[in-house]
Amino acid sequence: MRIQSYIMRKNTNKPVTFRVVALLHEDILASSITLPMEILAGAAQALGRGAQQSLSFQCLSEQGGPLRLQSGLTVATEPFDALTAADLLIIPAIWRQPQRVLQKNPRHIEAITQHLNKRGLTVSIGSGSFLLAATGQMSGRSATTHWHWFDHFKKRYPLVKLEREQLITQSDQVFCVSSVNSVADLMVYLCGQIFSPRVARHIENQFSPEIRQRFSPSPVGAPKDLHGDELIVDAQIEISRDLRSVLPLHNMAQKLGVSARTLARRFSAATGVSMTEYRQQRRLDEAQALLRRTNLSIMEIGHAVGLTDASHFTRMFREQTGLTPSGYRIAVREKAFAPHPPSD
């Protein structure tokens, strides 16, 4: 997997660059590229000068050179050759008529196929999923597209599992975003996976109006859900169902039909944290979401997520974000840009 291969390179303590490429043609929706570029630029800023990690972003086209988009914007591009070194491929949304784009750009389908064959990390935006599905590698896999093209997509690619109710889907290393509106949600998640939670928080604070709800690859809602243990997924769902209550370990184990020792061992192996630590992280994640999206008081939010002791809530929240709950609400609502990202 490309995220994993990058993390392996990152852990060698040698300078390493995460390489992002976008596959362009004249019919792309420009905003489906400019927003990811700006978010990734924010990630590069958060990494800071002299960091072991860095990030590069290239726009590719079939011929290379200046490419004039249907919007009138001209973009400098490189030939497809640069795709071979990419860690992440972005397939932009198509402005109109995806069927016509498929006919005009067979080499784009070949390039995407090449990247998928390497199990490369891939993000398809909106109707760009038509190009993704045209590779033939999405059969039996989840995907989504812009709502306007749902019926066309299902008719053209009946073997793809079209998720009409999902804004973002994940199938292994392939992510689909239904529209540009959800791009920021996914990019924050990926920045946390690729770089660090600190970088993700920095991006979230910068782009808070664009980020409506943090993406997670399952209904549970935390990055630690990227595992294949269905028993632990059930446990995570139970925890997230009511963050205000605490089901003791032995009661949770009994409910799931295993011993408390087995549950504790498998939970730690799957997520990297204990059930108690996971519950606290979920509470803080939900508190951040409520601070962004509601006008509930700090006390009401604390009670809603099971952190009823105000001083304990503030202390835990500050440890995670570097801000008090009220300071976080002010920062994200004013779209405050920190001149220097907080240190680890």
Q: Does one domain contain both 231 and 157?
A: no
Tell me the CATH number at 147.
3.40.50.880
Between the alpha carbon of residue 174 and those of residues 89, 126, 242, 332, the distances in Å are: 10, 14, 31, 29
Residue type for position 143: A
In degrees, to the nearest 5, what angle opens at C-alpha 161 toward C-alphas 158 and 162?
85
CA torsion, ordered 128, 131, 136, 137, to nearest 10 deg: -50
Range of 22's domain?
2-199
pLDDT tens profile 18-72: 889 999 999 999 989 988 888 888 888 787 765 667 788 899 999 899 999 988 8
**pLDDT score, position 15:** 60
In a domain, 317, yes or no: yes
SS3 18: strand
Q: Does one domain contain both 247 and 189?
A: no
pLDDT tens profile 160-215: 999 988 888 999 889 999 887 788 888 888 888 888 888 887 777 776 544 445 55
Q: Does one domain contain both 86 and 230?
A: no
Domain count, the chain: 2
* Strands (E) located in the chain: 16-23, 53-60, 65-68, 74-77, 88-91, 121-125, 142-143, 161-162, 168-171, 174-177
- The reported pTM is 0.61
DSSP-derived letter for residue 94 is B
Q: How confident is the model at residue 7 (pLDDT cuts 50, 70, 90)?
A: very low
Tell me the CATH number at 224.
1.10.10.60
Cα 300 to the center of its chain, rounded Å: 29
